[in-house]
Structures are given as structure tokens and as C-alpha cells.
């Protein structure tokens, strides 16, 4: 587990009927944790693309 300090940079409260979208500014993120976070985001994006391609 890693601890990340973040500050809300922007809010889109009209993202959808049930959800809002937050933009975060990462504060004091180490290079190691940045790499872990980037891999997590990349893997999540790949999963979304896989799901979208199966909907056809």
C-alpha cells in the first residue's frame, strides 16, 4: 500500500446523473509511487478498452 497526498484541483459535478468527476493534484509524489500510480492507471485504461470492445 502507498500513501498519496492529493489536493482537489477541479470538480465536474455534472459528469453524469449519478457521478461526479474530480481532478486531483498529487503532492510530494515520489518517483517510485508515480511509477506505481501510472501503471495502475494504464492497466485500468486497458481494462476499459477491453470492455468497450466486447460490447459489440
pLDDT digits (tens, 9 = 90+) for 1-56: 788 899 999 999 999 999 999 999 999 999 999 999 999 999 999 999 999 998 76
For residue 56, the model assigns a pLDDT of 62
Cα–Cα distance, 36 to 30 (Å, whole number): 10
Sign of CA dihedral 4, 29, 2, 20: positive
pTM, rounded to two decimals: 0.65
Cα–Cα distance, 27 to 30 (Å, whole number): 9
Domain range for 50 is 5-54
Count of structural domains within the chain: 1
CA nearest to 26, candidates 39, 38, 18, 44: 38
Cα–Cα distance, 31 to 5 (Å, whole number): 14
For residue 42, the model assigns a pLDDT of 97
Q: What is the largest CA-CA distance in the chain?
A: 42
Amino acid at each position: 500500500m502507498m500513501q498519496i497526498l492529493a489536493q482537489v484541483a477541479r470538480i465536474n459535478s455534472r459528469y453524469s446523473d449519478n457521478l461526479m468527476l474530480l481532478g486531483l493534484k498529487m503532492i510530494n509524489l515520489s518517483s517510485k509511487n508515480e511509477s506505481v500510480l501510472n501503471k495502475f492507471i494504464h492497466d485500468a485504461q486497458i481494462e476499459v478498452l477491453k470492455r468497450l470492445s466486447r460490447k459489440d
